[in-house]
């Protein structure tokens, strides 16, 4: 099977995997919940979401990143885009703070270990 636009071939296996993932994604969220969420979102729209509380060090880090982005891309961004960038940086900082708070030592092993498989496909004869 070939894609008429780009001329690339898609195998049946790739198509089946893509179709399975798409159907699983659609089945994961019931239709009734989508309607409820949409109604709740419209009802709560007038309220502006409060930004997460950050420590002074984290807030300073956000402002440094924001200033660097404005220096590099500020002329290309309008006021609304600048506000969106700032909100995004604040939400990312909250995740960074959580990751940094997790205690790790130099001798801690990774969650997954790389195992190289040589030409025999892992089978020994």
The pLDDT, as a whole number, for residue 49 is: 56
Model confidence at 29: pLDDT above 80: no
Query: Is there a contact between 52 and 92 (Cβ–Cβ < 8 Å)?
Result: no
> What is the full DSSP assignment across the chain?
-B-TTT--B--HHHHHHHHHHHHHHHHHS-HHHHHHHHHHHHHTTTSPPPPPP--HHHHHHHHHHHHHHHHHHGGG--HHHHHHHHHHHHHHHHHHHHHHHS---TTPPPSS------TTTT---
- The domain locations on the chain are 1-47, 50-102
Distance separating alpha carbons of residues 63 and 57, to the nearest angstrom = 10
pLDDT, average across residues 47-65: 80
Sorting pLDDT into bands at 50, 70 and 90, what band is 26?
A: low
Question: What does the pLDDT look like over 60-104, one tens digit per residue?
Answer: 999 999 999 999 998 999 999 999 999 999 999 988 998 889 888
Residue matched to tokens 């969420």: 37
First-residue to last-residue Cα distance in the chain: 37
pTM for this predicted structure: 0.46
pLDDT, average across residues 104-111: 84
The pLDDT, as a whole number, for residue 79 is: 93
Residue matched to tokens 């402002």: 63
- Dmax (CA) for the chain in angstroms is 69
The total of other beta-carbon atoms located within 10 Å of residue 62's CB is: 21
């Amino acid at each position: 099977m070939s894609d008429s636009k780009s001329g690339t071939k898609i195998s049946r296996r790739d198509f089946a995997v893509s179709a399975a993932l798409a159907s699983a994604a659609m089945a994961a969220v019931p239709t009734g919940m989508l309607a409820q969420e949409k109604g709740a979102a419209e009802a709560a729209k007038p309220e502006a979401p409060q930004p997460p509380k950050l420590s002074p060090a984290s807030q300073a880090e956000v402002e440094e990143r924001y200033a660097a982005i404005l220096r590099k891309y500020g002329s290309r961004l309008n006021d609304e885009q600048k506000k969106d960038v700032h909100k995004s940086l604040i939400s990312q900082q909250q995740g960074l703070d959580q990751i940094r708070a997790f205690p790790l030592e130099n001798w801690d092993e990774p969650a997954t270990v790389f195992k190289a498989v040589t030409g025999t496909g892992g089978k020994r004869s």
